[in-house]
Amino acid sequence: MGKDVIVACDFPGREKLEAFLDRLGAEKPYVKIGMELFYAEGPEIVRLLKSRGCRVFLDLKLHDIPNTVKRAMAVLADLGADMVNVHAAGTRAMMEAALEGLSAGSGPRPLLLAVTQLTSTDQTALETELLIREPMERVVEKYAKNARAAGLDGVVCSPLEAAAVHAACGRGFLTVTPGVRFPEGDAGDQKRVMSPLKAREAGSDYIVVGRPITAAPDPAAAYARCIREFVG
């Protein structure tokens, strides 16, 4: 499985996205778009990125009853995204339904990932609000195993958890890891960060990098550096 850098394009609209891509010159990066851009621009934004030669991770984190998720995934399957995701908390039945819906598309099936626990959820919230009394690491590992059992391709997790997920679910089970910063960079609101080089050593399959590239004075140089350090 080839490693790659996914650029988190957290822009409010199509114009800013296109201006950013123009600054990357001939590069056609793997791009992650989330709810903000998708809700603002609609499915057309995926087609636009595909027409520019980019691969697309559509980060919508579906979480609903199995039948609803299955039907939504069947629609997403034909947009041409290369990677989509759900919340593992929707249960194994929901993840199996998601996979079934996604497999109904006419083209190649996009990769399907599960979000284990959001990194914004800490141990206190887990215990006092969600009434999950296990340690976070154990919850992440169990949710990853559920995703694997449902036939999913991998999980979104911290690079700090990549090795444990691979140990529990196998080396071929993908770990897609945000929370990446250059060693000398500003961590911003990310708390637990790793450099592209360290994420590579930790066994991440894909790193998701946003502001260290999108807010860099020279985004093309920052992207090239991520590729050099993570992919080699």
Looking at residues 130 to 169 of the shown chain, list those that interact with ligand C5P (rule: CB under 6 A): 156
Point out which residues pair with 33 in neighbouring strands: 58
Window 4 to 23, contacts with ligand C5P (CB under 6 A): 8, 10
61 is catalytic: yes
**Toward ligand C5P, which CB reaches closer, 69 or 222?**
222
Instruction: Closer to ligand C5P by CB, 50 or 61: give it.
Output: 61
Which pair of structure tokens corresponds to residue 170?
């196998």
- The minimum distance between CB 195 and ligand C5P, in angstroms, equals 12
Residue number, nearest CB to ligand C5P: 210
The residue whose two tokens read 């957290």 is 10
To ligand C5P, the closest distance from the beta carbon of 193 in angstroms equals 8
Binding range to ligand C5P, per CB under 6 A, among 100-108, 143-151, 202-210, 223-231: 202-210
Q: Is 208 in the site for ligand C5P (CB under 6 A)?
A: yes
Cβ contact 158:192 at 8 Å: yes
Least distance CB 188 / ligand C5P (angstroms):
6
Percent of residues in the chain assigned helix, strand, coil, to nearest 5: 45, 20, 35
CA dist 131 to 52, 83, 99, Å? 45, 31, 28
Short-list 78, 133, 132, CA closest to 109 = 78
Catalytic residue among 16, 50, 61, 142: 61
DSSP sequence for 31-57:
EEEEHHHHHHH-THHHHHHHHTT-EEE
- Catalytic residue numbers read 61
Name the residues that contact ligand C5P, by CB under 6 A. 8, 10, 34, 118-119, 156, 178-179, 190, 208-212
